[in-house]
Structure 1
Amino acid sequence: MFLHALKRWYKIKSSGGSEEIRRHMSQVDNLLKKELPMDTVNVDINPSDKPACKYLQSAADNGLKHETRYIVTHLQKFTSILHWQYGYGKLPEDMKENYAYSEILGPRGLIKSSDIAVGIVLLAPAAFYHYHEHPDLTESYLNLSGYFSQNDQAVYPPESIVLNKPGKSHKITNDSSQPLLLAYIWTGSKEAISESRMVFD
């Protein structure tokens, strides 16, 4: 139901007047519509934690205070089976204690897909997510809990959607008072989704 809740958000919420964001939200809605219902669970993935996972409960509790709570509520139902990882490139040393992500839908996710990738990113308070990019992929973040800045351009509260075009280098700085929980979505060609990776600058 987490993916259903996420699909609903991208279907009905405002794009803030941005035509590019509106097109992306519509594309996500259509791609998730094709994937639902889904029954191809990747049984080869085993649950695993990273140090940052100690902040997951606090981030989820904070997320229940906002309109995104119906997404967070569904996420909480299966956090015990998530496979947390760092990424596909060399991870900066200072991120190992403060960052983790888990792919839920996608080529490496709990549910297999080659058309779209969906997951969550968790950052500790005051964490710095180094400059990185996703070649050939369009990415959006939906803020489920916490306050963050991307490229020092704005402060994004819960319920915000941030769009990153293919190859756009971006960094995230997190507020020092609470952890950050983001849903991320990657769209692109089947080849790009299948070979999806993070490249740190």
Structure 2
Amino acid sequence: MTMLQEDIAPDLRLKDCPDWGYLFREFYELYRFLPSGGSPRIRSHQRTVREALRRGVSKNPVVAPQPPADKPVTAHLKRALDLGREQNLAPVVRALESVTPLLSWQYGYEKVPKGLSGGYAYAELCGPHGPVVIDEVILGVVLFAPGCTYPAHAHKGITESYICLSGAVSENHQGVYAPGSMIFNPPEHLHRITVGDRDPALLAYAWIGDRGDLSDQKMVFTRKGR
């Protein structure tokens, strides 16, 4: 049975919430077995993510989700999950689906860029601010509507990876990423994402950085001048 927001006790811990535990196990396996394409930087990032996640989970962290919140783009979530269950990362998608009633979908921008409010939102799964409180890594999911263009941005002090769970996206018009593929963005790397017109795209993401940077960044981006 999926736990609902009203069932959550104030002193709840990860071991009390098996759905969250199963989800983090799937994330660990993702960062263990997805190929690195021969890149030592990507292989090192994958190891750093899973070790940070392992340490965080081993502490039986507090579960403190924000009140569930939807955004216009979450009207596409069912389709994105349906597509993901048909792909090679179906176990991750099924585990994610178990916690979707608890997710708080956000924009993150202080001012949402024009045209983006209906096409994008993200939900954190763990990090310094929850919903599972782990201070070494932020894990989450981001949902894009069909035809969305996610503006160019960079993350200060944050190494980021995306894993495509369903749909397909392009970053900086330099490749197409389908389910099971990873995008790696080092700190300060300017990147822009585009989504196909036919289906939504659902991506998992991981952020690694100093604890101060992780605590300060809540998907508020540093833009570079043209």
Question: What range describes the TM-score normalised by the shorter chain of this pair?
Answer: over 0.9
Retained in 1: the 8 A contact 2:125–2:131? yes
Alignment of 1:76-87 (within 5 A): 76-87=97-108
SS at structure 2 position matched to 1:61:
helix
Between the two proteins, the alignment pairs up a number of residues equal to 200
Deviation at 1:86, TM superposition (A): 0.1
Deviations 1:159-192 (A, max 9, x none): 0011000011111000111000000100001111
* Structure 2 equivalent of residue 198 of structure 1: 220
* Structure 2 equivalent of residue 32 of structure 1: 53
* Structure 2 equivalent of residue 67 of structure 1: 88
Deviations 1:119-144 (A, max 9, x none): 00000001111111111000000000
The structure with the larger Rg is 2
* Structure 2 equivalent of residue 98 of structure 1: 119
* Structure 2 equivalent of residue 51 of structure 1: 72
Q: Distance in 1 between matches of 2:139 and 2:193?
A: 19
The alignment status of 1:143 with 2:152, answered yes or no, reads no
* Structure 2 equivalent of residue 125 of structure 1: 146
* Structure 2 equivalent of residue 154 of structure 1: 175
The alignment status of 1:166 with 2:187, answered yes or no, reads yes
* Structure 2 equivalent of residue 186 of structure 1: 207
SS at structure 2 position matched to 1:94:
coil
Q: Distance in 2 between matches of 1:90 and 1:20?
A: 33
What is the identity percentage for the equivalent residue pairs of Structure 1 and Structure 2?
Answer: 36
SS at structure 2 position matched to 1:125:
coil
Q: Distance in 2 between matches of 1:89 and 1:159?
A: 32
Retained in 1: the 8 A contact 2:56–2:135? no
Q: What are structure 2's unaligned runs of at least 5 residues?
A: 1-21
* Structure 2 equivalent of residue 3 of structure 1: 24
Deviations 1:40-76 (A, max 9, x none): 0115x10010000000010000001111110000000
Q: Distance in 1 between matches of 2:192 and 2:129?
A: 23
Q: What are structure 1's unaligned runs of at least 5 residues?
A: none
* Structure 1 equivalent of residue 63 of structure 2: 41
The alignment status of 1:14 with 2:35, answered yes or no, reads yes
TM-score of the pair, normalised by structure 1: 0.96
SS at structure 1 position matched to 2:108:
coil
SS at structure 2 position matched to 1:186:
strand
> Where do 4+ consecutive residues of structure 1 move more than 2 Å?
none
Equivalent position to 1:134, from 152, 155, 175: 155
Q: Distance in 2 between matches of 1:149 and 1:109?
A: 29
SS at structure 2 position matched to 1:42:
coil
Deviation at 1:193, TM superposition (A): 0.6
Q: Distance in 2 between matches of 1:102 and 1:93?
A: 20
